[in-house]
Every structure is written in C-alpha cells, then in structure tokens.
Amino acid sequence: MHFAQYYLDCLSQASYLIGDKTTGRAVLVDPRRDIDDYLHDAEAAGLRIELVIETHIHADFLSGHLELARATGATIAFGEAAETGFPVRRLRDGERISLGGDDGQGVSLTVLATPGHTLESICVVLREHPDDDVPFGVLTGDTLFVGDVGRPDLLSAAGHTPQDMAARLHRSLHTKLLTLPDATRVFPAHGAGSACGRSLSSETSSTIGDQRRFNYALQPMPVDDFIRLVTAGQPATPGYFAHDAALNRDGHPLLEPGPPPALTLDEALAARDRQGAVLLDCRPLAAYTRAHLTGSLHTSLDTRFAEYAGSVVTPGTPIVLLADPGTEQEARLRLARIGYDHVLGHLPDPAAVLDRRPELSSSSRRIRYEELGLGEARLEGVAEAEGGRTGGAESGDAIPTGSLPTDSGPTDSGPTDSGPTDSGPGDIQLIDVRNPAEYEAGALPGARNLPLAGLAHRIAELDPSRRVVLYCRSGNRSVIAAALLEARGFAEVCDVIGGYEAVGAGTQ
C-alpha cells in the first residue's frame, strides 16, 4: 500500500492518497483545490488516480474533486445520500473498492455510511489485504476526529435539526466506527483549529482504541446526554461555510493558477469606489496596526488567513490584496481554497505606498485593559452566555463605572438577539469576539459575546455612535474585528492588547 496524508495547517484540513503499488491504481480522498502535490507524488510513485472520494459535502473549504477529474480523468464519488449538480459515483454502505488485480488481492477500501455531521457522510476503511482482520486504518472524514466528533449543526444538513443529526451521529459512531478493532488507525479530515468541531486535537492520527478511551464524546452515556453534549458550545460558523457547501454540491469554476495582477494605488481605490471591492490587508498584525489604508480589512497570512477572511468578506465580493512583496500569490491561493476567486489584483509594497501618502492611512487604536478604568478584572465563567447576563458565572455583576482614555476606542458588551442595547456605563460596548465555548469558560465582566465568525451579520446589534472595545484570546481576532467595524463606519473602536490571556496574566 502507498499511503500519504497531506495536512494543510492554515485550514486544519487533511487529504489522503491511497494506492496499490502492484497495480498502480490509486484513490484520492477529500482533496483540496490546488492539486499539484497530489499529481507529482502519484507520478513519482507510479500511481494513477482513478477515483476521487469525498467523505461528505465540505463546508469549510472548496474541494478539488473537479480539478482532479479534469487533470486525471478520475471518477468523482460521494456517499449514496449526496445530491450533487454533476455526475458522481454513489458509494453504498458496505461497498468494497479493490485497487488490486483480477485475483481480488491487494489494497481494498470499504465504505461505511455514517450520517450525522451531514446526511451523506461516509467513512472509508483501508486494508492492505482483503482478509486482514485488523484494517490498516479508517478515514473518518468529519464523523470522528482525534479528541472530538463532527458537529451536527451545519447548514449542509438543512431541514434536519441538530438534535436529529446528533442522534444519527451517535448511531454511526457506535454501530459502525466503534465496532472496528482497537488497533485500527484513525485518520480524520481535520485537526485543531477547525470550526467543524470544538475540541479537536493537534494530533493528525490516532487509533480506535485510544479514541474509545479518551475522546470525551465516546464515553459511555445515554443518547440524550450525547445529543446535549455535541450540540452545545460549538464554534461560530464562518460566513463562507454555506457558500462553500453550495459550490461543493453544485459545482464551481476550476482553479486558475498564477499571481494576481499588480495595481496602482489609483486603480486599487477605483476598484473600491466603483466596483465595491474590499481592500484586504494581508500583512502581519504589527505592520497593519502601525499604518494601513483607511477602511481596509485585515487578516494576516501568518494566521488562519482564509477562514478569517471568509468571516469578514462576503462571498463574491471583489478583493484587492494589500500584501508584502512576494506574498500576493500565496494570499490569492489561500483565498481560492475557500472559493474566493474574485481577486482583482494586488497593491505592490503597501508600506511604501503608505509612506508616500500618509493622508490615506490610519493606525489602529489599541489599549491595555487597565486603561479602560473598569476596575479589577474578574475572570469568571459565564453561566448564561445567551441569556443577556453581563457578569461572570452566577454573578450578574455590572461593569464598574469608569471612562475610556480620550485616545482609545470603544469596548464590547454582552449578547443580544435584536438591535443595539445598553451594555455598560459611559456608553462603552465591550465585545468578546471569541467562540462561545471560550466565552463561557471565562470572560471579562460585562463583556458581550459576538464571535468574529458571525460579527459581520450582527453588526446591527451594536451602536456605531458609541464606543466599542473588542478583545479575543491573544489580540489577533480583535484587530480583525476592529478593522471590520471601522470599515462599516464605527468611529471609536479599539481592542485590548494581548486579549484575555494578557488580562489573565496581569491578575496572577
């Protein structure tokens, strides 16, 4: 057997090349859109990619099944329940795929229908020889992760409640995956950082036995407890997920390689003013906060660039990249991996442009927590994150009175489901842009949880005439959020330097 895992850190995404060295026949599972690595490695190993298997209709990245089909002539395959806008091979539960010869020997794959994350989800059991008692491994897609299980609430399962999908997931885990021998290796589609689960490990493989023992969601419990457990505290869903799920289901344009064209400053500004383009600053955080084009959005290439861009840029919006020299092609590729293809060009050397035209630039307003004048931080868990509570767990404490320094920006406040609401004294809106589970584990007093992933759709809940102060875990997501609010017309915005971690360290 030829087996290779391709792990993409920036999207926490794994794909797999499996082949039979004797026959040269191979399968690619859950490929990303840029396929050159797969093609190179397959050729070097003497393999022909005949089949592209998708474990489900992905929502967090744009898959490369169409690109691979064009490049290799491979057939595209999904689980039997998949509904797609292009021809596919439908894989039945229990179906066996042989990569060996006519004698029936050699590498084989067995399909397991495992609905729960989505209706069409499948897992693929790998055997080096058809009669092996212990499989080489199982590709678990988004059904089972190392340390977690797939979330049951994504839009791909429209028409089915999270509780219904969680019940299906429980059956799939216990009647399919947990019946495999403990020594069977587990190879998931995602790792730590992915929004497809809440507690994913940084390990990219495990075994069924280890997951049976250590995975919180696989511990013995009533089905109703499992359902409550896996439907609570999931990360906020980035805005691009529904867009990518639709493209992966219905079809999408093929990836066009190459760098984006260079634009002059006048061309970049004209694209913004006449075509509605977003100016997306991809430089490191320190460079952006020091000086950036007024009204530009930000997410750095040294973070989860594509995911964060997909949280603050509406799908289909034209984009002009503001990237350090030599990084513009990487930025374009990483946007293409989530289906953001409408990149008009890039502004070469933004720092030099800003030096020449300082009247077009702004610097980010950042403050330390103690400058807020809100009193001593009480880092407490939040009992009712969605219940309008403004204090820590069980406390209900209001924000102590205080005032912002005149050179600082606004703060955040607690969650709400309707229009702008009061969230503290002095017209301060204190906003925690972390995910719900992070917020419930502990938050600044009076902070309101508006996760970055959904902030663009909830801006109407904030009052642009009042001060906003943002914070996250370490100060990265809060800068991204501040840029979004400033671009939407909020005049007084700032973020807490170092985020919740820095405040916690200061109270030790």
* Cα–Cα nearest to 319, from 311, 327, 309: 309
The stretches of 62-199 forming alpha helices (DSSP H) are: 65-72, 162-175
Encode burial over 340-349: b for 16+ CB neighbours within 10 A, e otherwise: bbebbbbbbe
Q: What residues contact 225, with CB distance under 8 A and at least 6 apart?
A: none
Tell me how far apart the alpha carbons of residues 197 and 146 are, in angstroms, rounded to a whole number: 10
Residue pair 20/26 in contact (Cβ under 8 Å)? The answer is yes
Q: Which of 123, 196, 282, 472 is catalytic?
A: 472
Smallest CA-to-CA distance from 485 within 472, 502, 470 is with: 470
Distance CA(299)–CA(303), nearest Å, equals 7
Q: Which of 274, 283, 334, 345 is nearest to 310 (CA)?
A: 334
- Separation in Å, CA 285 to CA 101, 252, 305, 480: 54, 32, 12, 9
Residue found under tokens 């109703």? 224
Alpha-carbon distance 463 to 448, whole Å? 13
For the CA atoms of 189, 193, 196, 201, the dihedral, rounded to the nearest 10 degrees, stands at 60
Active site residue 472: yes
| 273 burial level (CB within 10 Å; 0-12, 13-18, 19+) | exposed
- Active centre residues (catalytic): 472
